[in-house]
Amino acid sequence: MFGTVVFYRREKGYGFVRQAEQLSDLFFHASEFEGNENLLRVGAKVEFTFGEHKGKRVARNVRLLEEAQEEVRAILGSSAAA
């Protein structure tokens, strides 16, 4: 499935993704994120699978889509140069 990060709190270790055209958000724990946590931002496009935790649907195996990774790297690169 594909979606967008709508909330992420690195210091707390969790976030939420919204699947396209869905009204509800899915919780994900930072341990389910596959990749460099520094690249994870609100608005980032991600791919994930569905899982269940304590009877609720959650996002698992969350990873940034390639174009989102490139976009974030460009932002980080330009802010480092400023």
Q: What is the mean pLDDT of each run of 10 residues along the chain (82 residues)?
A: 93 92 89 86 92 94 79 64 50
pTM reported for the whole predicted model: 0.77
Question: Taking a C-beta distance cutoff of 8 angstroms, is the pair 2, 47 a contact?
Answer: yes
* pLDDT in the model for residue 20: 79
Q: How many other CB atoms are found less than 10 A from the CB of residue 40?
A: 20
pLDDT of residue 52: 94
Supply the pLDDT for residue 76: 67
Type of residue found at 24: S
Q: What is the pLDDT of residue 22?
A: 80
The pLDDT value recorded for residue 75 is 66
Domain residue spans in the chain?
A: 2-81
Domain 2-81 is in which class? mainly beta
